[in-house]
């Protein structure tokens, strides 16, 4: 998309940059038309497309991850994979197709996933003897092999993970990243000789995911245990991280499931212990998905577009030279020098945008839209003074930095941007959790687009009643951070010592 360079002489390069910014947005339709606060759904769709993250495919509910989004996913993969390997987890790969007889071996599991399963019934014009499920999750196809591989206590623990795609077909209204029929994730499947070992790993994994959310995504969440109604199908219990979206709804982040011996008994995954007695293994499963990219977009983005945390930004710094005919050579020479300084010092991943078919104003808009954490501007005046202007994406505040100080100052700015985004997320979460005592209070909190923290008796029938009477609010989780107090269940009034987080689910 070419942009015609203006012929007007720049009397003041900074003022002219501002005019270019306005003009380029008008002429190229680069900017967003929807406001995040007023029309989040349209805003989100615009950001996804205009920031070149994803595109729609001809298969309903299945999106195309474009290189920019996939680069973010690769950073997530690297951060998680590095930590999993440090925990002794190894990567493997299992088939996409699951025979129906395997999927039906664990009844609670198959019941939970039946509405979501896509089936292959025909190949090459011939009907298959047995339907093949397209992987909604891999427990059943993996555990057939686990039963063959595990024979003795010496074979344990078995800790495998795979990075793959899964297909779940139940919903009617797909949303890129947040709710798609095919998505990418990691799925870990581990086996232990004892329940204690398995439960310790379950917490360790959840804490690892929490670290990734806080230090990479810059997102604050609530760690806790799912209620019986909300746990993973086939699990003994589920641990989750729940996040708050700006539209007032909750969304589940990464999770870890302790499956006990449910799958082990269904698939015959047993071993001889040190006393030569046959035992069933204890198992965990856990995952993080591309859904989290959508959560990050929605949580941090603004009316100008993406705001990417530096730890996940494919590009951390962009250098935009401000060119005039009589000073082009010296500005470009210095811009290349700055790019080299940042590269050699490993201060940041930096890119010099020296394209002449786009003017500086267009570039400013483009990099704000795509969420690059820091933009460095350099014009002839800056060259004379041995400085640059750095603009941070989170606040759009400008700072003058001496060129010699860039290797030190740019990393400091990136750390501060990452920290500020997390603090903003934490503040937003805390301000939108309301402690309530009654069902009416819970309903009012949800109507105000907040999460409600209320005492709960634990009864599944009471949980169903609360959901029905609160217009669909669900139990998000039982937060680990519980006050030592007693109260009456918001649903039935019975004495309770446990508080549960409630909210509308995205």
Q: Which of 315, 292, 300 is nearest to 367 (CA)?
A: 315
Give the model's confidence band at 116: pLDDT under 50 very low, under 70 low, under 90 confident, else very high. confident
Print the SS3 string covering 411-479. HHHHHHHHHHHHHHHHHHHHHCEEECCCHHHHHHHHHCCCEEEEECCCCHHHHHHHHHHCCCCEEEEEE
Answer with the one of 248, 269, 300 that is the final residue of a domain: 300
Task: Confirm whether 372 is domain-assigned.
Answer: yes
Examine the domain organization and report whether 245 and 113 are in the same domain. Answer: yes
Residues 389 and 291 grouped into a single domain:
no
Q: Kindly state the average pLDDT of the residues 380-403.
A: 98
DSSP 155: G
Residue 29's pLDDT band (cuts 50, 70, 90): low
Longest Cα pair distance anywhere in the chain, in angstroms?
88
The answer to whether residues 290 and 312 belong to one domain is no
| Nearest-5° Cα angle at 250, 249 to 251 | 125
If asked whether residues 249 and 343 sit together in one domain, one would say no
Q: Is the peptide bond preceding residue 431 cis, with omega within 30 degrees of 0?
A: no
Q: Report the mean per-residue pLDDT for the chain.
A: 92
Per DSSP, the residues of 172-202 read SS-BTTTB-SEEEEEEEEEEESSHHHHHHHH
Burial of 157-183, coded b for 16+ CB within 10 Å and e otherwise, reads: bbbbbbeeebbbeeeeebbbbbbbbbb
What average pLDDT does range 381-410 have in this prediction? 97
Mean pLDDT of 263-279: 96
Domain assignment present for residue 144? The answer is yes
316 touches 342 (CB < 8 A): no
Facing residues of 133 across strands? Answer: 98, 119
Same domain, 360 and 275: no
146-164 confidence digits (pLDDT tens): 999 999 999 999 999 999 9
Residue 19 has pLDDT above 90, yes or no: no
Q: Is residue 136 part of a domain?
A: yes
**For 434-446, what is the mean pLDDT?**
96
| Shared-domain flag, residues 370 and 473 | no
Answer whether residue 28 shows pLDDT above 70: no
Q: What is the pLDDT of residues 308-353, one digit of tens each?
A: 999 999 999 999 999 998 999 999 999 999 999 999 999 999 999 9
- The β-bridge partners of 126 are 123
The reported pLDDT for the residue numbered 171 is 74
Residue-range definition of the domain harbouring residue 26: 13-30+308-427
Domain identity same for 134 and 275: yes
Is 35 part of any domain?
no
The total domain count for the chain is 3
Q: Is residue 5 pLDDT above 60, yes or no? A: no
Predicted confidence (pLDDT) at residue 111 exceeds the cutoff of 90: no
24 pLDDT higher than 70: no
Q: What is the mean pLDDT of residues 490-502?
A: 95
Counting DSSP H helices and E strands in the chain, the numbers are 15, 25
Percent of the chain past pLDDT 90, that is, above it, reads 87
Last residue of a domain, one of 427, 458, 486: 427
- pLDDT of 327: 93
Q: In this prediction, what percent of the chain has a pLDDT beyond 70? A: 93
Residues 246 and 129 in one domain: yes
Buried b (16+ CB within 10 A) or exposed e, 305-317: bbbbbbbbbbbbb
Which whole-number Å values give the CA distances from 448 to 244, 302, 428, 472, in the listed order?
Answer: 13, 22, 14, 14
Boundary-marking domain end, from 427, 450, 473: 427
Segment 112-138 mean pLDDT: 91
Asked whether 502 and 452 are in contact (CB, 8 A), the reply is yes
What's the pTM value of the predicted model, to 2 decimals? 0.92
The answer for residues whose C-beta is within 8 angstroms of residue 228's C-beta and 6 or more apart is: 458, 460, 463
pLDDT in tens, 39-65: 999 999 999 999 999 999 999 999 999
| Within a domain: 353 | yes
Question: Bridge partners of 55?
Answer: 64
């Amino acid at each position: 998309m070419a942009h015609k360079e203006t012929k007007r002489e720049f009397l003041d390069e900074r003022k002219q940059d501002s005019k270019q910014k306005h003009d380029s947005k008008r002429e190229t339709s680069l900017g967003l038309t929807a406001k995040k606060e007023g029309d989040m759904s349209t805003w989100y769709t615009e950001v996804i497309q205009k920031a070149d993250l994803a595109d729609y495919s001809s298969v309903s509910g299945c999106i195309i991850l474009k290189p920019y989004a996939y680069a973010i996913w690769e950073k997530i993969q690297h951060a998680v994979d590095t930590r999993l390997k440090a925990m002794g987890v190894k990567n493997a790969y299992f088939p996409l197709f699951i025979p129906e007889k395997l999927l039906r071996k664990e009844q609670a599991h198959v019941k939970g996933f039946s509405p979501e399963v896509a089936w292959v019934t025909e190949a090459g014009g011939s009907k298959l003897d047995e339907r093949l499920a397209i992987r909604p999750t891999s427990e059943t196809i993996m555990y057939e092999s686990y039963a063959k591989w595990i024979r003795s206590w010496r074979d344990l623990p078995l800790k495998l993970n795979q990075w793959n795609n899964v297909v779940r077909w139940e919903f009617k209204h797909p949303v890129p990243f947040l709710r798609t029929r095919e998505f990418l994730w990691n799925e870990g499947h581990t086996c232990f000789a004892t329940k204690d070992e398995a439960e310790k790993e379950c917490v360790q994994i959840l804490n690892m995911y929490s670290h990734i959310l806080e230090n990479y995504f810059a997102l604050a969440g609530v760690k806790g245990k799912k209620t019986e109604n909300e746990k993973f199908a086939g699990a003994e219990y589920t641990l989750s991280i729940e996040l708050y979206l700006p539209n007032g709804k909750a969304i589940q982040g990464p999770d870890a499931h302790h499956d006990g011996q449910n799958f082990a008994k269904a698939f015959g995954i047993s071993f001889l212990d040190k006393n030569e007695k046959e035992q069933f293994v204890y198992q965990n499963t856990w995952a993080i998905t591309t859904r989290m990219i959508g959560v990050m977009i929605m949580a941090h983005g603004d009316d100008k577009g993406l705001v990417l945390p530096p730890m996940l930004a494919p590009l951390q710094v962009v250098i935009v030279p401000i060119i005039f005919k009589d000073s082009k050579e010296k500005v470009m020479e210095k811009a290349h020098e700055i790019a080299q300084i940042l590269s050699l010092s490993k201060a940041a991943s930096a890119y010099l945008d020296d394209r002449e078919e786009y003017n500086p104003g267009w570039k400013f808009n483009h990099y704000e839209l795509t969420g690059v954490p820091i933009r460095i501007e350099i014009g002839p005046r800056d060259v004379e003074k041995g400085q640059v202007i750095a603009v941070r994406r989170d606040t759009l505040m400008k700072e003058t930095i001496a060129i010699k100080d860039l290797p030190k100052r740019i990393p400091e700015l990136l750390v501060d941007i990452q920290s500020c985004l997390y603090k903003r997320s934490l503040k937003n979460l805390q301000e939108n959790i309301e402690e309530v005592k009654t069902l009416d209070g819970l309903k009012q909190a949800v109507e105000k687009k907040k999460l409600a923290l209320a005492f709960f008796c634990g009864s599944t029938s009471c949980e169903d009643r609360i959901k029905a009477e609160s217009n669909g609010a669900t139990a998000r989780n039982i937060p680990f951070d519980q006050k030592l107090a007693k109260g009456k269940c918001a649903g039935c009034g019975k004495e309770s010592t446990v508080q549960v987080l409630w909210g509308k689910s995205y």
